[in-house]
Structure formats: C-alpha cells, structure tokens
Amino acid sequence: MIEMQLSNKHRTFTLMYHDVVAAEAHTASGFDWPDAALYKLTPAQFDEHLAALAAATGAAPALVRGNKTDLPSPRQCPSWLLTFDDGGVSSYTEIAGRLEARGWRGHFFVTTGVTGTAAFLSPTQIRELHARGHVIGSHSETHPLRMARCGWDELLREWQVSTEALSAIIGEPIRVASVPGGWYSREVARAAAAAGIKVLFTSEPTARCHTVDGCVVLGRYGIQSGTPAATAAAMAAGARAPRWRQAAWWQAKKAVKTLGGTAYLNFRRAWAARALTQ
C-alpha cells in the first residue's frame, strides 16, 4: 500500500465509484435520486471490477491522506487510486471488506448532513473504516448539486462544517475531500483550501494535478453501472484511449451543463427515472 503526497509533477489515474447494491435496490445505499442509481454497481459487478483492476495494475491502489509524507519514487509514478463518493452505507457493508480481502484500502468521501440516516454511514461505521486503514474525507455538508454556483460563504461553510464533523468522529483533522455533483470551479478549491483541505478530488476526467492556494486538485474517471470492468481497469492502468474518450464526452457534457443549468439537471433526472423503469 503506497501512501503519497501529490505535487503538480504527478499523474494519477483515479477511479470514482459510489455505491454497491443489489440489483433493483438502488435506494438501499446512498442517495435515492434516479440519476444517482446510474453510478451504483451490483456486488457481482464490483467483484468483476476488482478482479480486472488487480490484473491490469499489478499493484494496490495508492492512498492520499494530505499529510507531509515522502513522495513515491519515479518507478511508483504514476499511481492509481480508488475513491467512493457520498458516504452510502454500502461503503461499510459491501465495499470495504472486498478491498481489504485484497490488502487494499480506499478513500471514502462522506456527505455529513446525512450521516447516520437511512442508507448512509453512521458515525460508528465511519470511525471503524478509519481504524481499518481507509481514508475518510469530506464530500461537503449538504451535497449541493451545483456547488460551483454557491457563494463564498456557502462554499466555506460546506467544507468547514463537514470537515469539523468528520474530525470529531475520527479524532483527526480531515485533509482530503471530493467535490459533489461534478460542478467544480477554482473558488470551490479556494474555499476547500481555506477550510484546511490539502487534497481535493473533482469529477474532471484527467490524470494531471494542479494546485490552488496550496491544495492539490486531482481529476477522476467516473465509473457507472454500465462501465465494463475492462474499461475501468484500462483507465486505472493508464490506457489512453478510454481516458480520452471519457474526457471528450465530459467536455461536451460540461458545455451542455453550463448552458442548461437547472434545466439540464431536471432533464438528467427525468431521463434517469425513465431508464430505471425500462
């Protein structure tokens, strides 16, 4: 298991997962929005992904805690990482044990405003995941769907309230976070840095890092229920073609999201709801 502090010189191939739930049970863990279901894998799918990742990378995923640790050697770069957003209860019931069976650990980003409610992690489960060696990070307090549109005071509050709540649970400062909803801006990173966050993951599909006010910002490659295990494994191993395809699609979607605003979110949810019933 590699623990690392990232700089602008590093490239990381980071995968963004969410929940693992039984088929037709997408409300059992995490948010129950129809579009959230697009990111939930079944246990069988997740097992297939883990096997493919192990075969393609030949190494355990790296961990980033935001501390001043030694950089990995050039032979260890670039590294690949596993992240899990939202803080759904399947992080504890389905995901962590499967990672540990391989000697792996992951990053679990928690939306603290729903901690302890149905389908989400409890403080006791968060504390145990931390004790078992996983990285606990913030996914904001309320999971705003358009975080980049929030004002400075709201951004700062989202990060500060969340990191303070998680710090109280695990007994350590929270230095790592991920942006909810996929709406990133430099102001989002500036607010994260002001709240003491040292590493911030976005949903931008890129392997490059950059720094904002001392906070290292990393992109991630999103995994959906329809993503083949071989594709996820290829991206983790650094293959260019699947990463470039996702980046091209992201840029096209980003333009539509910017122009469409709330209308885009409504359309996406309506489309996802229809997909679930088909």
Share of the chain above pLDDT 90, in %: 77
Q: Mean pLDDT throughout 150-160?
A: 98
Sheet with 107-110: list strands edge to edge: 209-212, 215-218, 199-201, 176-178, 135-138, 107-110, 79-84, 12-17, 221-222
Tens digit of each residue's pLDDT (9 = 90 or more) over 177-231? 999 998 899 999 999 999 999 999 999 999 999 999 999 999 999 999 999 999 9
Degrees, nearest 5: CA angle 183-199-228 = 60
What are the DSSP calls for 47-96, one per residue?
A: HHHHHHHHHHH-SPPPB--SS-PPPPPGGG-SEEEEEE-TTBTHIIIIIH
Instruction: Identify the residue with better confidence: 45 or 265.
Output: 45
Query: Buried b / exposed e across 57-81, counting CB within 10 Å, b at 16+?
Result: bebbbbbbbbeeeeebeeeebbbbb
Other beta carbons within 10 angstroms of residue 277's beta carbon come to: 6
Q: How many angstroms separate the CA atoms of 93 and 75, rounded?
A: 35
Query: Of all helices (H) and strands (E), which one includes residue 98?
Result: helix 96-101
Q: Mean pLDDT throughout 112-118?
A: 97
Q: Mean pLDDT throughout 158-176?
A: 98
Q: How many angstroms separate the CA atoms of 22 and 42, rounded?
A: 5
| pLDDT for residue 74 is more than 60 | no
pLDDT tier at 71, thresholds 50, 70, 90: very low
* Predicted local confidence at residue 267, as pLDDT: 44
Other beta carbons within 10 angstroms of residue 19's beta carbon come to: 28
Query: Of all helices (H) and strands (E), which one includes residue 137?
Result: strand 135-138
Q: Which of 4-8, 74-78, 153-157, 188-192 has the least mean pLDDT? A: 74-78
| pLDDT for residue 61 is more than 90 | yes
Q: Mean pLDDT throughout 160-166?
A: 98
| pLDDT for residue 76 is more than 60 | no
The pTM (predicted TM-score) of the whole model is: 0.88
Q: How many angstroms separate the CA atoms of 257 and 15, rounded?
A: 22
Query: Buried b / exposed e across 139-169, counting CB within 10 Å, b at 16+?
Result: bbbbbbbebbbbeeeebbbbbbbbbbbbbeb
